[in-house]
Structures are given as structure tokens and as C-alpha cells.
């Protein structure tokens, strides 16, 4: 097999941690990437299928449309948590090539976790006779902690069509990417709300993978570990134009240049693969996104809302003085335009059920379609998530709780590298089958509101005077 020059091996291993198109990447990429989408945090929004840009009337508005914060009339603190179960199934794979035809056994990788997702403190004040709202918040944009393992058998479909083999993989991951935000929103008029959020992104995570392949001919193994860190800044700008029965929302998430660093270690019984790199400093351009939303209340008890968000994933590229990395795609490590931009669509409905004791119970349902910026290099199929959600909540005094359940699924034909030593060659993946992903999410939001007058007095004393 043609070998890759040793001088570019570190770059390919680095790319493997981030891409599904290199062998090491195929060993760990599915476990090292959460679903890439522009959805914000919040149980009410998730119950509406994520269609919240034109509504955005609770503290989680900063992650959807910061202009919506101007609708908050009382100081409050909020917390959001998420439970997630994710299953990735590999079905009907077949390895073909080099005079072999091997059937690959089905495998299922599953993980379950709970993460704190969002926390905020919000304070409204009066300015010029209108509502001005200030907020500090932190959002866990990508939770990256999980552990998976799988076992795959390759068996010849006919005598003489190949040698049976066994592949065992273990993947562990820990860490997160968080976004710290300072936001302000102002009620310009009865009809118009504007908002601005400054975001500081900070990520720390580690990925470890071990793979062992055994056949009658030989056995090979490889261990991989990578530590990562990133930091960057961007802004969210939002606008809501509202009328008694409908509203229109616009939001812009600016792109930004992040400082990215990593350290990698590879251990293998294949001598040419053994490698340890110190911390490498590079840059990463994170893409901009634009969203538009519409909400309509045909009757007082009904709300229908929809939105669409486009993210320019094709611009997510490395920025580095090294010609090996500079300009390459974050997702497939190519310089071309295979990584697509993505437009997510969300639709939601809410009905306010009035009980006999005059309590109000919201009933919510939503649907969404979320294309991911991951395209298989061999089949050319893009990963697309579909989601269906249900939600409800209640308020008692100053306390409010919302809960939502979301089921997500994805199916595509995808390829896999099942031979560890393919890292040393430019051989394309030879095993193709069906990738199925299922997700079960439960989000819970908690909000507690305070009396506004003491907060007004304190803020006025601090920033205005007696």
C-alpha cells in the first residue's frame, strides 16, 4: 500500500479526531460529535419543536433571539437540565474489495447522560419609560461526556471470499463546550423589540479510543488520545416585530475566529503509527447563522409558531500558518466544498388548557428537520435528523416548571473503516451499510421570579444615583 509521508501524519491524526472521512476518525468520530444544530436551550422551546425565534418570551430567549428578553417584566433566575439517551446502530454492512466479500455483523453503540444545560440571572429596569432587560447566562452548547463500545464480526459470504475477523472498539469522551453570555434587550416601542448578546465560548474536552482487530492472518491494535481546548467570542443580534395576533422574529449569530489547541498521542503495534505531539496552537473559523421566525395566535388559547435557521457550515475551516491545516474543512478535512450549509426547519403549536379551578396547563407539540454538516465521503449521503416533541408545564406563585420530551431519528447509507492499518494508506473505506441513530431527550426548565421593586431600586442606585 502507498504510505502517507510521516511529516503529514500528525495532521491526518488531528483531522481524524474531527472527521468521519479518515480511518482514525471513523473509529471515534460518531462518538466525538454531538448533533450539530443551532437549537437553543429550554424545555418550553423544545416542546414547540425548537420554533421559538418569534416567541422567545422566557429567560432562555438569549439562545434563540435575545430581543425576546425585553418581554420579561420581573427579575428571575432560571435553570435547565437535559437527560439524553443516544443509540447509533450499524446494520447490513458489507465489506467488498481486494477480492473479498465479507458480511459485517450488526452493532449498536448506546450512551445515556444528564447535563446541566442553561442557567441565567435576569433583571428588567425602566429606561425612557420602556423596558430594558439585562441578563447573565451560561449555556452548555455541546455536552461531550460519554462512553461507548462495540464488537463487529466480518464473515465471508461464500467460501474463499475472505478471512473472518473480529473488531473490538472502546470510545470514551469527557468535557464540554460552554457559552457565557451577557445580553441586553430593549422595548423600543409597543411593536418593536431589539436585543444584543455578547458570547464567550470556552471548550475543554478529551477523547480516547482503543481498537483491536483480530483475524487468522494477523492482529492489529491502535490506541488514540487527544486533549482539546478552544476559546472565541461572537455576538447574537435579534429583533421582534409584534402585533396583537402575530409576531415576526429575526436573529443573527455572527461567525468568529476561535483559538484552538490540541495534543495527540497514538499507540499501536504498527510501529509507523506510534506518535505523540505536544500542544499545537491553531485557529478555527466558526460559521455565522441567520434565523427567521413567525408566530400566530388565532385565538387566545392557541399559538402556532415556525422558524428556519441557516448555518454556513461550509465556512467552518482551520486557520493556521501550517499549509497542511490552513483552509481545510472542520468536518471532512478537505479544501473543497463537500460540507454543505444547513437550513433547519421547526414547527410548533401550543394550547392553553383551562381547568375547572382556573389553572392554566400548556400543552405543546412540535416537529423539526435538522440537516447535519456531515456527508459520507463514499456514499455521498448527508446525515439529517428528524425530531418530534411534546411538552407541558405549570406555574404556582413565583415558580414555574416546564418539561418536554423529544424523539429524534436519522437514517443514511454510510461507510466504515474496519482495518486499523488503513491509516497508513489512502485506501477508501470498503465497508458500506446503514447507519441508524435514535435519540431520546427530556428537558426540564425551572424559573423563579422575584419582586421587581427592590431590584429596580438597587440597579438605579448603582448606575443612576439617588
CB atoms within 10 A of CB 156: 15
- Considering the domain boundaries, does residue 19 fall inside one? yes
Q: How would residue 165 be classed by pLDDT, with cut points 50, 70 and 90?
A: confident
**pLDDT at residue 21 above 50?**
no
Cβ-Cβ contacts under 8 Å for 276 (sequence gap 6 or more): 264, 265, 266
pLDDT given at position 138: 96
pLDDT given at position 31: 38
Measured CA to CA, the distance from residue 248 to residue 192 in angstroms comes to: 10
- Considering the domain boundaries, does residue 306 fall inside one? yes
Please give the distance of CA 348 from its chain centroid, rounded to a whole number.
20
Q: Which three cell numbers stand for residue 41?
A: 436551550
- Considering the domain boundaries, does residue 293 fall inside one? yes
pLDDT given at position 39: 65
Of 17-26, 85-94, 221-230, 277-286, which range is least confident? 17-26
Q: What is the pTM of this model?
A: 0.86
Q: Which three cell numbers stand for residue 307?
A: 422558524
- Considering the domain boundaries, does residue 409 fall inside one? yes
CATH code, domain with 265:
2.40.160.60
CB atoms within 10 A of CB 216: 8
**pLDDT at residue 426 above 60?**
no
- Considering the domain boundaries, does residue 48 fall inside one? yes
- Considering the domain boundaries, does residue 1 fall inside one? no
Domain count, the chain: 1
Q: Which of 85-89, 238-242, 339-343 has the highest mean pLDDT?
A: 238-242
- Write out the residue range of the structural domain in which residue 381 sits: 6-463
The closest alpha carbon to 236, from 72, 455, 53, belongs to: 53
Angle, helices 23-32 vs 9-16, to 10°: value is: 30
- Considering the domain boundaries, does residue 426 fall inside one? yes
- Considering the domain boundaries, does residue 288 fall inside one? yes
Q: Per residue in 293-340, pLDDT tens?
A: 999 999 999 999 999 999 999 898 888 888 888 888 887 777 777 788
**pLDDT at residue 431 above 90?**
no
- Would you give the end-to-end CA distance of the chain in angstroms? 80
DSSP 43: H
**pLDDT at residue 222 above 90?**
no
Amino acid at each position: 500500500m502507498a504510505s502517507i509521508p510521516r511529516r503529514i501524519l500528525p495532521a491526518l491524526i488531528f483531522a481524524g479526531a474531527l472527521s468521519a472521512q479518515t480511518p482514525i476518525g471513523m473509529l471515534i468520530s460518531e462518538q466525538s460529535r454531538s448533533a450539530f444544530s443551532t437549537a437553543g436551550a429550554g424545555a418550553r422551546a423544545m416542546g414547540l419543536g425548537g420554533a421559538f425565534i418569534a416567541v422567545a418570551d422566557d429567560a432562555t430567549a438569549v439562545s434563540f433571539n435575545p430581543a425576546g428578553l425585553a418581554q420579561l417584566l420581573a427579575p428571575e433566575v432560571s435553570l435547565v437540565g437535559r437527560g439524553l439517551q443516544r443509540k447509533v446502530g450499524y446494520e447490513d454492512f458489507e465489506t467488498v474489495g481486494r477480492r473479498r466479500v465479507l458480511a459485517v455483523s450488526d452493532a449498536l453503540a448506546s450512551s445515556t447522560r444528564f447535563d446541566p444545560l442553561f442557567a441565567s440571572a435576569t433583571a428588567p429596569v425602566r429606561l425612557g419609560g420602556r423596558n430594558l432587560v439585562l441578563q447573565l447566562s451560561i449555556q452548555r452548547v455541546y455536552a461531550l461526556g460519554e462512553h461507548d463500545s462495540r464488537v463487529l464480526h466480518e464473515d465471508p459470504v461464500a467460501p474463499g471470499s475472505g478471512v473472518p475477523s473480529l473488531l473490538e472498539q472502546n470510545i470514551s469522551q469527557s468535557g464540554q463546550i460552554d457559552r457565557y453570555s451577557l445580553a441586553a434587550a430593549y422595548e423600543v416601542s409597543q411593536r418593536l423589540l431589539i436585543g444584543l448578546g455578547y458570547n464567550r465560548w470556552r471548550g475543554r474536552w478529551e477523547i480516547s479510543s482503543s481498537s483491536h482487530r483480530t483475524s487468522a492472518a494477523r492482529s492489529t491494535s491502535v490506541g488514540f488520545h487527544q486533549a482539546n481546548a478552544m476559546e472565541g467570542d461572537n455576538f447574537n443580534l435579534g429583533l421582534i416585530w409584534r402585533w396583537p395576533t402575530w409576531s415576526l422574529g429575526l436573529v443573527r449569530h455572527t461567525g468568529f475566529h476561535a483559538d484552538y489547541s490540541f495534543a495527540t498521542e497514538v499507540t499501536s503495534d504498527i510501529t509507523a503509527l506510534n506518535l505523540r505531539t505536544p500542544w499545537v496552537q491553531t485557529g478555527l473559523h466558526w460559521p455565522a447563522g441567520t434565523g427567521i421566525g413567525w408566530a400566530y395566535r388565532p385565538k387566545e388559547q392557541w399559538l402556532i409558531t415556525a422558524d428556519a435557521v441557516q448555518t454556513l457550515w461550509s465556512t467552518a475551516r482551520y486557520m493556521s500558518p501550517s499549509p497542511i491545516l490552513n483552509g481545510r474543512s472542520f468536518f471532512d478535512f478537505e479544501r473543497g466544498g463537500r460540507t454543505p450549509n444547513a437550513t433547519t426547519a421547526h414547527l410548533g403549536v401550543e394550547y392553553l388548557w383551562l381547568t375547572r379551578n382556573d389553572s392554566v396547563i400548556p400543552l405543546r407539540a412540535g416537529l423539526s428537520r435538522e440537516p447535519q454538516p456531515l456527508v459520507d465521503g463514499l456514499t455521498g449521503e448527508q446525515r439529517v435528523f428528524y425530531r418530534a416533541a411534546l411538552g407541558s408545564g405549570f406555574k404556582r406563585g413565583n415558580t414555574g416548571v416546564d418539561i418536554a420530551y423529544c424523539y429524534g431519528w436519522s437514517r443514511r447509507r454510510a461507510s466504515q473503516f474496519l482495518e486499523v492499518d488503513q491509516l497508513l494508506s489512502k485506501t477508501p473505506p470498503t465497508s458500506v451499510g446503514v447507519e441508524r441513530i435514535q435519540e431520546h431527550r427530556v428537558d426540564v426548565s425551572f424559573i423563579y421570579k422575584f419582586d421587581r421593586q427592590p431590584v429596580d431600586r438597587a440597579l438605579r442606585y448603582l448606575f443612576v444615583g439617588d
